[in-house]
Amino acid sequence: MCPGWRVGLAAVVFLTVAPWLVGCTHKLPPTPESPTTAVVGKRTITLEEVDQSIKDALFEQRFPPGDTARLFEARQSALDHMIDAEVVAQAAQGSGLSSEEWIAREVETRYPISEEDIEAFWQEYEHRIPKDRPEEEIRSDIREYLAEENAKTLVSELRSSAKVRMVLARPRYDVEPRGVPRGPENAPVTIVEFSDFECPYCARATPTIQQLLAKYPDQVRFYYRHLPLPSHSQARAAASAAVCAQRQGKFWAYHDTLFANQNALGDDDLRRHAEQVELDLDQFDACLTSPETAAHIDEDLAAAEALGVTGTPVFFVNGIRLKGAQPVAKFVQLIEEELAAQPED
C-alpha cells in the first residue's frame, strides 16, 4: 500500500518510500487533452500552455537565485530515486516481472518476516502504538512496515553492487576561514561552522566535530564563526565573551564551557565561566564593551548573510554547505569524497 495508509503507525516512524516499492505505485492518470482556458479570435490557449508559462517563475520561487545548495539538494534527492529505480529495473530484467513485483518477491524470499519479528517490533514501540485498534490490523501494519524496511535494504545492496557513478557537481561557496583553528595548517579539508552558543542543535553538533577531528587529525582543519540569532536573547553576549576569551588565547576552552552550560549564559554566568578557564577578568570585562569585539561579531554576521545563512548550525566543508546537526556519517562521506579528489603527490 502507499504511504499514508497506516494511520495507526504514523506516530511510530516517519518513512519516505520510493513510489515503486512493495506494490506501491503512483501512476499518473492518462493525460487528457489539455482543457481550453481562453479563446482569442481563432487562437485557443490551453491550460498546459498556461502552466508552461508559469513554470520558470515557480521554479525561481522554490529555488531563489544564489541558493544553489537548495537546488542541489532537490536534484540529488530526485537523482537518488531515479538511480534506485534503475538498479531495481535492471535487476528485474529478464524475470518477466515488473519492478514492483520483483521487489515484492525478492523481499519475501530473502527477508521472510516471522511472527517473532512482529512481536519484537510491537514490544519495542508499544508505548507509541495506539491502543484502540484491532490487534490483527496492527500486526498487518507492522508486517508491511518491516517489508518496506527490508525493501530499502535490498535496494541499498543492489545499489552498492551496481556500477553507479555520481557526477552531479556540488555547489561550493567562497567562505573565509576565520577564527582560531583546530587542526593542521596544511589540512586538505577545511570546515567552517556558523554557530550560536544558545542554539541546542549547535551544542548537539559539537561532539560530532570533535569526533571528526579525532578521526582525521591530519586531514581536517576546523573554524568556528559567530552567528548569534536574534531569537536567542543571550547569544550575542555569549559570542562577545567568546571573542574576549580568544583575545586571551582561551577560545576553545571557553567555547566548550559555554556549550556545556547553555542554561547559564547570563552576564554573571559568562564572567564565572571566564574565571573557570582562568581568564584575566579585568581584561575580559573591558573587552566585552570594546567596539572591536562588536565589529568582530558584525563581520561574521555579514559573512553569514552574504552566504545566505539564516539559521544555525551551518557548516561549509571545503565550501560545500551542510545544514543542521548532521550525523557523523554525513560529514565522513563528504570528507572522504574531498580526500579522494585530492591530487596524488
Domain residue ranges of the chain, discontinuous segments joined by + = 1-25+52-171, 189-340
Where residue 325 falls (left for φ over 0; alpha for ψ -120 to 50; beta otherwise) is beta
Do residues 249 and 281 touch, judged by C-beta distance below 8 A?
no
Among residues 165, 168, 171, the alpha carbon closest in space to that of 317 is found at 171
pLDDT at 29: 47
Other beta carbons within 10 Å of 160:
9
Residue 43: band (very low, low, confident or very high) from pLDDT cuts 50, 70, 90: confident
Share of the chain above pLDDT 70, in %: 90
pLDDT digits (tens, 9 = 90+) for 46-98: 888 888 888 888 888 888 776 777 788 888 888 989 999 999 999 999 999 99
Do residues 170 and 81 touch, judged by C-beta distance below 8 A?
no
Q: Is the pLDDT of residue 20 over 90?
A: no
pLDDT at 177: 93
Give the sheet arrangement for strand 189-195, strand by strand: 220-226, 189-195, 314-317, 320-323
**Alpha carbon distance 14, 310 (integer Å):** 26
Q: Is the pLDDT of residue 2 over 70?
A: no
**Alpha carbon distance 330, 313 (integer Å):** 14
Query: For strand 36-40 and strand 43-46, is the pairing parallel, antiparallel, or unpaired?
Result: antiparallel
pLDDT at 345: 61
Buried b (16+ CB within 10 A) or exposed e, 59-82: eeeebeeeebbbbbbeeeeeeeee
pLDDT at 32: 58
Arithmetic mean of pLDDT, 16-29? 39
pLDDT digits (tens, 9 = 90+) for 25-35: 344 444 557 78
More confident residue, 141 or 20: 141
pTM over 0.75: no
SS3 of residue 323 by DSSP: strand
Buried b (16+ CB within 10 A) or exposed e, 4-21: eebebbeebeeeeebebb
Q: Is the pLDDT of residue 3 over 50?
A: no
Q: What is the mean pLDDT of the chain?
A: 86
**Alpha carbon distance 293, 287 (integer Å):** 7
**Alpha carbon distance 13, 126 (integer Å):** 13
The DSSP secondary structure of 30-86, one letter per residue, reads P-PPPPEEEEETTEEEEHHHHHHHHHHHHHHHHS-TT-HHHHHHHHHHHHHHHHHHH
Share of the chain above pLDDT 90, in %: 61
Q: Is the pLDDT of residue 293 over 90?
A: yes
Do residues 21 and 1 touch, judged by C-beta distance below 8 A?
no
Do residues 182 and 211 touch, judged by C-beta distance below 8 A?
no
pLDDT digits (tens, 9 = 90+) for 224-279: 999 999 999 999 999 999 999 999 999 999 999 999 999 999 999 999 999 999 99
pLDDT at 52: 86
Burial (Cβ within 10 Å: 0-12, 13-18, ≥19) of residue 279: buried
Please, which residues bridge with residue 194 across strands?
A: 225, 314
CA dihedral angle for residue 25, residue 26, residue 32, residue 35, rounded to 10 degrees: 170
Q: Is the pLDDT of residue 14 over 60?
A: no
Arithmetic mean of pLDDT, 172-199? 94
Query: For strand 189-195 and strand 36-40, is the pairing parallel, antiparallel, or unpaired?
Result: unpaired
Decide if domain 189-340 falls under CATH 3.40.30.10.
yes
Arithmetic mean of pLDDT, 165-174? 83
